[in-house]
Amino acid sequence: MVKILFIGDIVGEPGRRAVKELLPRLRRQHAMDLVIANGENSAGGSGITPNTAAEIFSAGVDIITSGDHLWDQKEVLVLLQNESRFLRPYNYPQGTPGQGSVVYQANNQAPVGILNLQGRTFMPDLDNPFIAARAEVERLRHKTSIIFIDLHAEATSEKAALARMLDGQVSAVIGTHTHVQTADEQIFPGGTAFLTDAGFTGPHESVIGREVEPVVKRFLTLQPQRFTVATGRILLQGAVVEIDAHTGRALDIQRVSEALVEKAG
């Protein structure tokens, strides 16, 4: 059996701190073989840099995925060109720097294929993720029976449809991007674990990670506001998926929502 912890969108310094302080215990508690985290909001709440990626890796994350905020920090090119553990959405046009999938093997466990996709409904118009997924999953299945997908998308129907299309061909499809953890974890008939959205790792006394007042003011006035990262009630959210190492079928999926207890003084 292979156990994978997926961590939902890491938002800013509070999110990175939650990973640093909570992940070591979670790895021990659940005997994790692999940890994947979406890090596209880890740098000041928007984008990712080599420094924030290094902080996340040093906390115990094995693979970092991303999404529509990929280009928010210009330093991301260094990661795309030099870091094999960092993924951008696979369905960017051919010739885009970086990689959208990887086969990773840790601790003498079975190899795991990780695929990062981005949806198109209410999102930037990338290549069709359904067509891209079919081709890449077929290629990955020649290398491993265990395939994990981070689908970074807005529409719940798009996430569910892609997961249903790949049922029995991949081990898990976990959604990211909306920053709201859903309560629909399940295993489809073909053995694919699914969760519409993993939630986010960061401050939840907020509007999806940002200070409340400027977001409300933006909706009231339509005037531009600076959306700073909030600070209160920090949670690490995501999901634990147990997978049969031989068949690649998911055996169990459990949501994770762990609070970071702030130290007094």
Taking phi first (over 0 means left), then psi (-120 to 50 degrees means alpha), and beta for anything else, what does residue 3 get? beta
Q: How far apart are CA 152 and CA 175, in angstroms?
A: 6
171 closest CA partner among 187, 152, 159: 187
Phi, psi of 51 (to 5 degrees): -70, -45
Q: How far apart are CA 104 and CA 63, in angstroms?
A: 8
Residue 250: both structure tokens together:
């998911």
Count of residues for the chain? 265
Cβ atoms of 39 and 17 within 8 Å: the answer is no
Q: Residue 231: how many CB atoms within 10 A of its CB?
A: 15
| 178 Cβ contact list (under 8 Å, min separation 6) | 154, 197, 208
> Which of 30, 69, 152, 246 is an active site residue?
69
Active site residue 30: no
DSSP letter, residue 59:
T
Q: How far apart are CA 22 and CA 192, in angstroms?
A: 27
Catalytic residues: 69
